[in-house]
Structure 1
Amino acid sequence: MRTLSADLAILGNGPVARSLVLALADSPLHVVMLDTSPLGQSRPSQADRTVALALGSRRLLCRLGLTMPLTGAAAIQIVQITQQGISGQVRLEHSLLNAPERRLGEVAGLETLNEALALSLARCSRLQQESPGPLQTLQWFPDRVQLDWPDLRIETALVVVADGGHGDLARLAALQRMGWDHNRHAVIATVTPRQPLPDVAFEHFLESGPLAFLPIGNHQFSIVWSLRPGDASRILDHSDAAFLEALNRQRPPHLPPLTLTGPRSVHPLFFQRLWAEPNQRLALVGNAAQTLHPLAGQGYNLGLRDAMTLAALLREAAARGNDPGEASLLRDYARIRRRDRLETIVFTETMNRLFSSPRLPLRLMRATALTLLDQIPFGKRELAARLAGVHLPAQSAIPDFSMDEHHVF
């Protein structure tokens, strides 16, 4: 069995894990990034998966050295929020932010983001990458954590869990958990409208849940359609013509009819939050810490802020010669991230539940609320800035990597 020693072991090699490595590129820490996907198992295609990059995330990725916009990325200049069957809408435009980028965010392919991050990893001289598969055992010692696989042992001061919540860490590390199943599945597909409508994203609320249309270039949209599991299975088996017919009955009022569609996939929707005690030498980032409803596309944006905050604290600790896994650092990380995480979780869960209720009084109240919000510039600016990730709670400012202003308008 090979044995490696590291300051930091990152479980996972997705976009949040890679972003963390890049944020540590100028530090003296020896980092091992571990692909924990099952060995010999074919990976599901991510060609249909997209990532909504908020404006704040775009700025952070620029600071990590990525060239923005990413290849093929499509700008989001306008977001329209509507609900089925009743008038009332909110229209959020980039001008609300008065930002030089002239966008609220952009949409990139998940594979494109992963590849861009992977190319940038070449400059991380103290990074070692391994592909041992799922973690087998984990043991704690006063000054380190021991991770074991059949052919590899790693001894490290700190373990960062960035595996998207798909590993067995919750059981191996006795992590604390809260969560629930939404009893919904997301149908994902690429569709094309009859007339082009560039740079506009739609969040349309149905009784089954939100239906999102994200622009992806070439006059196409990536959709995320929340449906009950049985309905999602039936939709998945539809012919293209039947699928488009069903989707056109539900599309937002300002979106032209949809005429073309690509392959479809389905993914279960659930909420989960996991956390460790500060003395466990474990830090959780991204979906390994919180798995959100895809409403408003906040998953990677929240995970990137997790990674940037943790990296800043680790660089500060390294500069002082401190233990990267010390309990005080992990307490600081949890404290700084608490408010941003909580607000994002509450927003996505509340919006999903509130707008999915079929009761007529609630539907009328929602229509009134949307109409009023659309007429209140301050409220629209606040909502746009929060969704764009450029107005974070002061308690969640990223140490020494914070954005130039909490407000950019």
Structure 2
Amino acid sequence: MRTLTADLAILGNGPVARSLVLALADSPLRVLMLDTYPLAQARPRLTERTIALALGSHRLLRRLGVAMPLADAAAIRTVQITQQGISGRVLLEHSLLHAPEQRLGEVVGLEILTDALAMPLATCRTLQQESPGPLQALQWFPDRVQLDWPDLRVEAALTVVADGGHSDLARLAGLRRMGWDHNRHAIIATVTPQQPLPGIAFEHFLESGPLAFLPIGKDQFSIVWSLRPGDASRILDLSDADFLEALNRQRPSSLPPLVTTGPRSVYPLFFQRFWADPGQRLALAGNAAQTLHPLAGQGYNLGLRDVLTLGALLREAAERGDDPGSRSLLADYSRTRRRDRLETIAFTETMNRLFSSPRLPLRLARAAALTLLDQTSLGKRELAARLAGIHLPVQSAIPDLVTDGYHVR
């Protein structure tokens, strides 16, 4: 069995894990990135998966050395929020932010983002990469964590879990968990409207949950349609023509009819959050720390802020010669990220539950609230800045995380 040692072991090889490596590129820490995806299992196709990249995340990635804007990224200049069957809407426009980029964010293919993050990794001289597959066992010692695979042992002062929450580490480490099943499945597809409508994202609330239309290249939209599991299974099996007919019955009225669709896929929707004790020498980031409802597309944006915060703390510790897996550092990480995480979780969960209720009084109250918010420039500006990731809680402040015009706080 081979044995490798590192200051930092990162479980995962996706966008969150790669972003952490880039955040540590100028530090002396020896970093080992471990791909835990099953070796014998075919990786899922990423071509249909997209990420809504907030403006704040765009700026932070640019500072990490990622070439921005990304290829084929589609700008989001306006977000329209509506609900089915009742008038009332909110328009969030980029002009509310007075941002030089003239956008709230952009939509990019997951594969494109993953490849863009890989390019600057080549310059990280303290990085070593391995692909051992799923973690088999771990042990804690006063000064390190030991991670074991059939043919590999890794000893590291700190282990960062950034594998999307798909590994067995939560069970192996006995992590505390809070979560629930939304009893909904999301259908993902690429659709084309009859007339192009670039730069506009739609968040349309149905009784079954949100139906999002995110602009992507070639004047198309990537949809995320939340449905009850039985309905999702039925709609997934429809012909393209019948699928478009069903989708057109649900689309927001200001969106032109949809005329073509690409392949469809489905995945379950749930919320979960994990905690590690600061003494475990474990830091959780991205979906491994919190798996969110896709409403408002905050998953990767929140995970990016996780790893940039952690990276800043680790660089400061390295400058002082401190233990990167110390209880105090991990307690600081948890404390600093707590407010931003809780506010984002509360926003997505509350919006999903509030707008999914079919009760008429609530539907009327929602319509009135949307109309009132649309007439309140200050409220719209605050909501737009929060969704764009450029106005965050003061308690989340890290000196490194300053972006143009706002502090990431």
Report the TM-score range of the alignment, normalised by the length of the smaller protein: over 0.9
CA offsets per residue over residues 271-312 of structure 1, 9 Å max, x none? 000010101000000000000000000000000000100000
Partner of residue 26, structure 1: 26
Query: 2:175 and 2:63 mapped to 1: Cα distance?
Result: 32
Aligned residue pair count:
408
Query: Are the equivalent residues in 2 in contact too, given 1:215–1:222 (CA < 8 A)?
Result: yes
Partner of residue 142, structure 2: 142
CA offsets per residue over residues 108-149 of structure 1, 9 Å max, x none? 000000000011110111100000000000000000000000
Following TM superposition, by how much is the alpha carbon of 1:230 offset from its aligned partner in structure 2, in angstroms? 0.5
Partner of residue 360, structure 1: 360
CA offsets per residue over residues 37-71 of structure 1, 9 Å max, x none? 11111011111000000000000000011111100
Partner of residue 155, structure 1: 155
Query: 1:70 and 1:164 mapped to 2: Cα distance?
Result: 22
Partner of residue 400, structure 1: 400
CA offsets per residue over residues 352-392 of structure 1, 9 Å max, x none? 00000000000000000000000000000000000000000
The residue type equivalent to 2:259 in the other structure is T
C-alpha RMSD over aligned residues: 0.9
Query: Quick check: 1:37 aligned with 2:37?
Result: yes
CA offsets per residue over residues 143-170 of structure 1, 9 Å max, x none? 0000000000000000000010110111
Partner of residue 290, structure 1: 290
Query: 2:397 and 2:387 mapped to 1: Cα distance?
Result: 16
The residue type equivalent to 1:175 in the other structure is L
Gaps of 5+ in 1: none
Following TM superposition, by how much is the alpha carbon of 1:400 offset from its aligned partner in structure 2, in angstroms? 2.0
Query: 1:407 and 1:283 mapped to 2: Cα distance?
Result: 24
Partner of residue 319, structure 2: 319
Query: 1:395 and 1:401 mapped to 2: Cα distance?
Result: 13
CA offsets per residue over residues 184-206 of structure 1, 9 Å max, x none? 00000000000000000000000
The residue type equivalent to 1:140 in the other structure is W
Gaps of 5+ in 2: none
Following TM superposition, by how much is the alpha carbon of 1:171 offset from its aligned partner in structure 2, in angstroms? 0.6
Query: 1:400 and 1:294 mapped to 2: Cα distance?
Result: 28
Q: Secondary structure at the match of 2:402?
A: coil
The residue type equivalent to 1:369 in the other structure is A
Query: 2:71 and 2:139 mapped to 1: Cα distance?
Result: 42
Query: Are the equivalent residues in 1 in contact too, given 2:401–2:407 (CA < 8 A)?
Result: no
Following TM superposition, by how much is the alpha carbon of 1:253 offset from its aligned partner in structure 2, in angstroms? 1.1
Partner of residue 62, structure 1: 62
Give the TM-score taking structure 2 as reference length: 0.99
The residue type equivalent to 1:330 in the other structure is L
Identity %: 81
Query: Are the equivalent residues in 1 in contact too, given 2:52–2:105 (CA < 8 A)?
Result: yes
Q: Secondary structure at the match of 2:60?
A: helix
Partner of residue 330, structure 1: 330
Partner of residue 306, structure 2: 306
Q: How does 1:250-289 map to 2 (within 5 A)?
A: 250-289=250-289
Partner of residue 371, structure 1: 371
Query: Quick check: 1:341 aligned with 2:341?
Result: yes
Partner of residue 92, structure 1: 92
The residue type equivalent to 1:244 in the other structure is L
Following TM superposition, by how much is the alpha carbon of 1:405 offset from its aligned partner in structure 2, in angstroms? 4.4
Query: Are the equivalent residues in 2 in contact too, given 1:385–1:407 (CA < 8 A)?
Result: no
Partner of residue 3, structure 1: 3
Query: Are the equivalent residues in 1 in contact too, given 2:157–2:324 (CA < 8 A)?
Result: yes
Partner of residue 245, structure 2: 245
Q: How does 1:372-387 map to 2 (within 5 A)?
A: 372-387=372-387
The residue type equivalent to 2:52 in the other structure is A
Query: Quick check: 1:183 aligned with 2:186?
Result: no
Query: Quick check: 1:233 aligned with 2:233?
Result: yes
Following TM superposition, by how much is the alpha carbon of 1:406 offset from its aligned partner in structure 2, in angstroms? 3.4
Query: Are the equivalent residues in 2 in contact too, given 1:313–1:399 (CA < 8 A)?
Result: no
Q: Secondary structure at the match of 1:145?
A: strand
Partner of residue 216, structure 1: 216
